[in-house]
Structure 1
């Protein structure tokens, strides 16, 4: 079997694609894979690191406002379809899978025009612009949130979940917190604002430091490298706070998360998949800088089931953060209820379901 995958821009599009490839490598040891992305996207680093053959096309996203730059975008889109068709003809895939981001728009559209079976995967509760466009052309659409079905032709939709969740579900607890000078036996909150960090979360953490003294729980905070230097002036205070550790980045995030008791962060689709796969309670702070406020809708799906609490970005302060942390970290019974609800919200066999869709299309 030959499988071509495309998705890019953010980790939320890339990690599910990598999870699908890794899973199918186990099912089909002799299978061949090709990933098409962009040279400047995050996928250009993440995908080759996984040993997956990688090719690029040139394309950029449309501006939502009226802009002359959109004429260049249209030119690149048309030329990228031509480039994608050449790569597809050379590789001769049995199926093409798009996981979101504008790069997969050209690739999946080109595959459809060449008569190759196609699938797209929508990670969020609100469909992205590229996937809404592609929904007219693809054979099947995998979704993670039932609400996303409203954006697509019903006969094409399959609830599969996020393959990233199934990949992390088997990770076992360890003593990794000792690597951060933290106590593995103490209740721990893991706080982060995504791979690059988040300014509002960083500001709240700085305000929260004096309020965290003598708390019976500990915090590991990944600030993001661009915000880490802001803690230089707080170093003396951090030295006295033995229950708070600030680092720029956590490389082995899943291994750390599985040893945490509560997760605090944004509500991106990949984060939601990881949190529910691990059955973790969460305090979600949806990013306001996303299309159609989809992170709020993602977060609400967990809040409504009792798996998470939510703080609006505009309401986030050091005081509101610590108050909400106390609500969960000082109440073991609540944490256990939230953990159970979180686990129930996850779809543990997401990659199995996606694999079945692929099999059905390639029979």
Structure 2
């Protein structure tokens, strides 16, 4: 099977596409792929590492009000559609899947105009502008959250979950503990703000961790983000306030292994992150980013909160003390932790990547 993947900008759009490719390769080792993105997004760096051929088109996002810049964007879209069509004619895919980001617009639209079967995947509860536009022309739509079904034509929309959930199921808890030298008897609280870190979470963690030395059965793994690591490390060391039960890291390369060993996580509420947590049943304290389009992270997080799988703290309410209060019942009340874990697991879709692969095959046969 020949598949074109399109998605770009942030990891939340790129990692689901790569997860689909990995699952398809497991099922069909002979499958071939082409990834179409932009040179400015993370995809230009991440995709070639996976051994997937990469091509770029130039595109920008529309502003939500009438501006001169939108006229330039419209012209870029036309040119990107032409370039996408050239790449598609050359590669001759059986199906094209878009996983979000502005680049999906011209690629998936060009495929639909050429009569190539098309699929889009929406990671968030509320769809963005690109997927709203593409929903009218694609053959099938996959969504990560059941609540998203109301935003798309019901007959061609399927609740599959997020394919990142499948990837995380390959993690090994023992390997995660061994990599950090954490004994089996210790619970792990993972504090992370995404691959680049989050200033608000870092500041709250700086206030929290000096208070956590009296939790001897708990080990805190605090991932600062690479750009924040030196500053945070320096501040903690200068204040002599880093307890022995804390491991400070700039980045985690074996995240599936570490998540498999995690007792509680403190994190943002990106769709891929929530897919991973619910697949594993990890109780969470979520601090949604207020800087994203349509405030979609809070909507994502509230769904888990309503189901009893997470505690939500808005960034404007986040302090070391509010974080300590949220963590306390999850560390000291076994029944509360177990209930949250069970509720989280009911939301998980660990077979999401396989479901999307089936959808691609079905679309490719139409």
**TM-score, structure 1 length as denominator?**
0.96
Tell me, what secondary structure is at the counterpart of 1:174? helix
Q: Among residues 343, 350, 353, which one is paired with 1:351 in the alignment?
A: 353
Q: Give me the whole-angstrom Cα distance separating, in 1, the residues matched to 2:159 and 2:144.
A: 6
**Equivalence for 1:287:** 289
1:97-154 C-alpha deviation (Å, 9 max, x unpaired): 0001000111000000001010000011111111001001001100111111122111
Q: CA contact under 8 A between 1:175 and 1:184: conserved in structure 2? A: no
Instruction: Sort the Cα spacing of 1:153 and 1:324 in 2 relative to 1 into closer, same or farther, 3 A.
Output: same
Find 1:278's aligned residue among 276, 280, 285. 280
Partner of 1:252: 254
Q: Does the CA contact (< 8 Å) of 2:226 and 2:251 recur in 1?
A: yes
For 1:238 and 1:180, the matched residues in 2 are separated by 21
Structure 1 equivalent of residue 230 of structure 2: 229
Equivalent-residue separation in structure 1 for 2:29 and 2:250 (angstroms): 38
Cα deviation code 1:249-308 (max 9, x no counterpart): 111111111111011100100000110111111111111011111111111111112111
Separation in 2, partners of 1:240, 1:38:
41
Q: What secondary structure does 1:221 align onto?
A: strand
Q: What displacement does 1:239 show?
A: 6.6
Q: Secondary structure, in 3 states, of the residue corresponding to 1:121?
A: strand
8 A contact 1:112–1:118 mirrored in 2: yes
The answer to whether residue 326 in structure 2 is matched with residue 299 in structure 1 is: no
Out of 304, 307, 310, the position equivalent to 1:308 is 310
Aligned to 1:152: 152
**Is the 8 Å Cα contact of residues 8 and 14 (structure 2) preserved in structure 1?**
yes
Which range moved further: 168-177 or 9-18? 168-177
- 1:311–1:239 distance in 2 versus 1, CA, 3 Å: closer
Aligned mates of 2:46, 2:240 — CA distance in 1: 33
How far apart are residue 60 of structure 1 and its match? 1.3
- How far apart, in 1, do the equivalents of 2:176 and 2:170 lie? 16
Question: Which range moves more in the overlay, 120-129 or 173-182?
Answer: 173-182
Question: How many angstroms does 1:240 deviate by?
Answer: 5.2
1:188 aligned to 2:188? yes
TM-score w.r.t. the length of structure 2 is: 0.95
Contact persistence 2:195–2:225 (CA under 8 A): yes
Does the 8 Å CA contact 1:178/1:184 hold for their aligned counterparts?
A: no
SS at match of 1:112: helix
How far off is 1:64 after superposition?
2.6
Distance 1:290 1:239 in 2: 33
* Unmatched runs of 5 consecutive residues or more in structure 1: none
Structure 1 segment 1-363 matched on structure 2, within 5 A = 1-216=1-216, 217-231=218-232, 232-237=234-239, 241-363=243-365
1:31-85 residue CA offsets vs partner (Å, 9 max, x unmatched): 2211101111111111111111111111111223443322221121111000000
Deviation string 1:139-177 (CA, Å, 9 cap, x unpaired) is 110011111112211111111111110122132211533
User: SS of the residue aligned with 1:321?
Assistant: helix
| Greater mean deviation of Cα atoms: 294-303 or 87-96 | 294-303
Counterpart-to-counterpart distance in 2, 1:134 and 1:288: 26
Q: How big is each residue's C-alpha offset from its partner over 1:192-242, in whole Å with a ceiling of 9 and x where there is no partner?
A: 111111111011111223322222322111111222232212214557510
